[in-house]
Structure 1
């Protein structure tokens, strides 16, 4: 399947499904069973910084950035409904807000060497072209700027609960586009190894500052282990990984 077909399919599914994700997995949270920003302090001081959110969704992470004192709030998202929702969520911000509807693989005319911080919370794994997306982000950042993103750990959907136990039912090492079970096989996501994300960052010019895949489990472990995100599975493999990188 060509990248243009995948983008078209995924946009259509997001327009239908966006509402059930409004406000979910947004800063200070990085993802399921992960440490949060209040614990990690990866961004440091946000006050006075120009920030760009890749896959900004409903705008709640940008809202967090605004509360923390960001000077300018920019967001990029493929989905019209997400952009419209983000515009409503951010309408009371006292700083400049710019929201752009575009695939992350394309540069829709965002300024070069402009942003102090670019980040993406549980969105970047949707890209059909990882290297081009990282190259775009590198271009958007000022020298010395930081890029932080989180995504579902690539081991997570390789493991499935079947017949009272967890088994690996997909290859970790085979990469490429595949229908995503979590979306009832109605959306396509590229499976990539963790090393692929790291090496693509390096190839785009980034310096890797930190890779985090610690698991933070709740005290209660009573839910159905066959759920997409379950504490039982998180006891075996991380659900989320986070990478912090910087522009040289």
Structure 2
């Protein structure tokens, strides 16, 4: 949702159903306009060459949620400026590919490639229609990229399952579904339930013509689990990170006050049967 700094100004807020094409258009427009402010605000926390799973600061260097990635071919879904994939390249993984819906995010990725010396091959694409062959990757992952912004969880999860090889691993992090009940306020004021957990209508910001300019979708824990199963994957773990004592930052609705009381992030880990 809308935050401070130089993000695009919020439009008229609605709660309504949004289909795939409208959602993708809104996501592309908003993230093209928000990429500069997002990277300026969160770039230091994410690091140019770093793999952070969530605002809680879960670091792949410590968590190793992807397992042994040596010799693997890896896809990052919704790569943004490519920080995670670039970290994998720096760790010696030879084949890492990323994609993102927003061209401006990919331009930041190219900028950081040149500055860091670690290049991440990346293309512009939609998670609802991944432009890769079936069974192309040993590992597919997404760190808050794309999945919170797709209207049908099962569609994007099926695509991730399709491009994954038998025996491959799929890990993705999203806003914890319980957060949908609460306002986007990380302080004590944000501890009051405002809407039903079961209300799956999207949060939509519209322009004066009624067109969506920002869309964020809600899927319950059950929706994600059913989507994983429908994609032919086996769930191995669901990580709900606790807020660490040393993390003082506030990131939208995430922060130390509320983060110590309710989970802000869900990280799903699954495998494709071999």
Same fold (TM over 0.5): yes
Tell me the distance in 2 between the aligned counterparts of 1:214 and 1:73: 26
- 2:208 is matched with none
Aligned equivalents of 1:220 and 1:106: distance in 2? 36
Deviation at 1:2, TM superposition (A): 3.1
User: Which of 110, 122, 128 in structure 2 is aligned with 1:99?
Assistant: 122
- Say whether 1:13 aligns with 2:30: yes
Give the aligned CA root-mean-square deviation in angstroms: 2.5
Task: Name the structure 1 match of 2:265.
Answer: 240
1:167 aligns with 2:167: no
- Select the structure that is richer in strand: 1
Aligned equivalent of 1:2:
19
* Contact 1:176/1:191, CA 8 A, preserved across alignment: yes
Q: How does 1:66-145 map to 2 (within 5 A)?
A: 66-91=89-114, 92-93=117-118, 97-108=120-131, 110-123=132-145, 124-145=147-168
- Does the aligned pair in 2 maintain the 1:34–1:213 contact within 8 Å? no
Report how many residues are paired: 239
* TM superposition shift of 1:34: 5.1
Alignment partners' CA distance in 2, 1:10 and 1:198? 24
Deviation per residue, 1:170-205 (Å, 9 max, x gap): 11112132227xxxx951111111121111001110
Structure 2: segments with no counterpart, 5+ residues: 1-17, 206-211
Per-residue deviation at 1:7?
1.5
Deviation at residue 84 of structure 1 after TM alignment: 2.0
CA distance change for structure 1 residues 28 and 2 in 2, over 3 Å: closer, same or farther? closer
Q: Give 1:61 deviation, angstroms.
A: 0.7
TM-score where L is the length of structure 2? 0.78
Stretches of structure 1 that go unaligned for 5 or more consecutive residues are none
Query: 1:207-236 CA deviation, whole Å, 9 max, x = no partner?
Result: 111101031322477x88x96222111122
